[in-house]
A and B are shown apart, each in its own frame.
Chain A
Amino acid sequence: MSELKLYEVFIRAKSGLNHRHVGSLHASDAEMALLNARDVYTRRKEGVSIWVVEADKITASNPKQEHEWFDPAEDKVYRHPTFYPLDKEVENM
């Protein structure tokens, strides 16, 4: 058990969509992580493709810096493309 590593699992629900993080699991190596991910996360037909990444290999932002990193974006409405008139044909943008 101590030999097992933690892997993060990403599933593509159907072709054309992005892989989305769905959870994590333990495995001895990447190949076994892929097999376990198939059994744990796609047994109800949740996906068509799986990525696994060793959790240690992910570089993450520091939760303690959440406010200083992300709050400044709050009042910068001009960063949203909401001030352009759009043609009707691209209404889903």
Chain B
Amino acid sequence: MNQTVTVSEQALYQYLLRLADSSLTMGQRLAEWCGHGPYLEEDVALTNVSLDAIGHAQMFYQQAAALTSNEKSADDLAFLRDAHEYRNPIITELPRGDFAYTTLKQYFIDAFNLYLFTGLQNSNNETLALSARKALMEVKYHLKRSEAWVERLALSTETAQLKIQKALDDLWFYTPELFEVDEDMQGLINAAVIPDYDEIKQNWRQLVEKHLNACELKLPESGWVATGGLAGEHSEHLGYLLAEMQFLPRAYPGCEW
């Protein structure tokens, strides 16, 4: 009996890291737009979303930290783990690229988060359900934004169309990884701690394909399908992202600013 509890707590810990790492890497990438947005208003909007995502990460890290026996803090989890310990899907760590690339990447992740957090609201883990409810409000807005931008880029000038179609060709095969489930997650699904990922995937595909279709964008037929994040296997980009993000707390441990 005791062992079962330990195993599922470990599974929950790993899952919370997946949620937190996904939000943090996405937030960090969006923060890179600060001062580089296409125009002032959009610059502010992108970094607003960035801060929302970092806020979500903080909630999930705090919950994960509460499960550790060696009194790790949320900051320890964010800043003192190396790339192979990160659990995010590769899509959230990809470089920001151009505005079309960031927009479409956000659209895919926002739509995923919509169904994920909607499902997590019903978690029998109360803290997780509460965090999801809080995050969902912001995610709905994020999705409205990215959805509107995809449409505007896809149905405007030839250059914008080319860029967003190129982004779709480059990003599409990073999306299946969002729905990957490992043995630990399957256990959490069976225990009604987290929602069924197959259902999230179906809803996501329906929503996304309908929108892309309406935007006259074409899905690429084949490509390398990303995988590995859940097991800590990442693209080379994550190392650089962490190097920049973690430099200060690693060089000056305990530093406050």
Chain-B contact segment, one of A35-43, A57-65, A67-75, A76-84: A35-43
Residues on the B chain within 8 Å of A29, using CB: 152
- Of A3, A31, A39, which one neighbours B41 at CB under 8 angstroms? A39
**Given the complex, which residues of A lie within 8 Å of B41, measured CB to CB?**
25-27, 36, 39-40
**Chain A residues, CB < 8 A from B40:** 25-26
Q: In this complex, which of A1, A25, A39, A40 has the most chain B Cβ atoms within 10 angstroms of its Cβ?
A: A39
**Are A36 and B148 in contact, CB atoms less than 8 angstroms apart?**
no
- Contact yes or no, B148 A35, CB < 8 A: yes
Contacting pair A35 B39 (CB below 8 A): no
Selected contact of B144 from candidates A1, A26, A35, A43, CB within 8 Å: A35
Task: Indicate if the CB atoms of B39 and A26 lie closer than 8 Å.
Answer: yes
Cβ contact of B44, chosen from A28, A31, A32, A40, cutoff 8 A: A40
Majority-rule SS of B interface residues: helix
Residues of A near B80 (CB, < 8 A) are none
The docked-state distance in angstroms from the alpha carbon of A38 to that of B137 is 14
A36 to B45, CA, bound (A): 7
- Say whether B39 contacts A1, CB under 8 Å: yes
Interface presence of A86 (CB below 8 A): no
Contact (Cβ within 8 A) A39 B39: no
B141-157 contacts to A (CB < 8 Å) = 141, 144-145, 148-149, 152, 156
Interface assignment of B42: CB less than 8 Å from any CB of chain A: yes
Residue B48 at the chain A interface, CB threshold 8 Å: yes
Known interface pairs A28-B152, A36-B45; 14 further A-B residue pairs with C-beta atoms within 8 A, sorted by A's residue number: A1-B38, A4-B39, A26-B39, A26-B40, A32-B148, A32-B149, A35-B144, A35-B145, A36-B41, A38-B141, A39-B44, A39-B45, A40-B44, A40-B45
7 of the cross-chain contacts (CB-CB < 8 Å) are A25-B40, A25-B41, A26-B41, A31-B148, A35-B144, A35-B145, A36-B41
